[in-house]
Amino acid sequence: MSRPLVPGLVAENTTDERFLGPVVFRQLRALTERGTRHVVDVAKTEIGECWTIKDADRVCRAVLELAEDCHLVCVHNDHNERGKAAKVVEVLGERGLTTPVIPLVPVRETEAWLLADREVWAGLRGSDPSHLPVRPRDVEKIHDPKPVLDAVRPRRGRRSRADYFDYIGQNVDLDVLAQIPAYAAWVAETEEALKGLGFL
């Protein structure tokens, strides 16, 4: 018999949701598949009703709503608002929320994480992976990843930049992402939360 695991996510905007939603789902599935306790049926990531660019009170309310249905909730902010994710975790802990709330914060911007896996881009006709750093961890050194993403993605066809957030989120190699220190830190914290919940 399988045990359900429902993740939740509040993110800064739609494109972050489109990338991080699949990544959270896939990473939790990978973590639980390695566990030997029992079969875990990871559900698709539930997305909160509020973006994390809103004030902390609204973000807290969105997390509380997700916590009614989810086993853990990830709170995403880019570097310029990293303190907000930590504040939400702190406030909800003080309010007695027992559902794990895990900050999901890149060193700079989420777009950098889309640039980590050369192979996934090489498989897209018309892309130009020559703009990507050699080592996945070096994406954290890119000051502004948005122009790099625009230089890498295929320029022809009907796909918008936002469409690549979906595609990369569903196809990026998680082991490559795990070479990025900020991502690896999130995975480690998520793994500890899953152990605390009895999923690992």
Q: What's the pLDDT score for residue 43?
A: 97
Statement: residue 82 has pLDDT above 80: no
158 against 127, higher pLDDT? 127
Q: What's the pLDDT score for residue 128?
A: 95
Statement: residue 27 has pLDDT above 90: yes
135 against 2, higher pLDDT? 135
Both tokens of 77, joined, read: 């902010």
Q: What is the mean pLDDT of residues 157-186?
A: 92
Assign 34 a pLDDT band (cuts: 50, 70, 90).
confident
Strand partners, 104: 76
Q: What's the pLDDT score for residue 36?
A: 62
Report which DSSP code applies to 136: G
Q: What's the pLDDT score for residue 68?
A: 97
Statement: residue 1 has pLDDT above 80: no
Both tokens of 2, joined, read: 């399988």
Question: Where in 43-83 does DSSP place strands (E)?
Answer: 46-47, 72-76
In percent, the amount of the chain with pLDDT more than 70 equals: 98
- pLDDT, tens digit (0-9, with 9 covering 90-100), for 65-78: 999 999 999 999 98
Match 């504040």 to its residue by tokens.
87
Cα(10)–Cα(86) distance, integer angstroms: 13
Q: What is the mean pLDDT of residues 15-40?
A: 91
Q: Is 175 left (phi over 0), alpha (psi -120 to 50) or beta?
A: alpha
Residue pair 195/189 in contact (Cβ under 8 Å)? The answer is no
Q: What's the pLDDT score for residue 81?
A: 80
Statement: residue 84 has pLDDT above 80: yes
Assign 37 a pLDDT band (cuts: 50, 70, 90).
low
Q: To the nearest whole number, what is the mean pLDDT of the chain?
A: 93
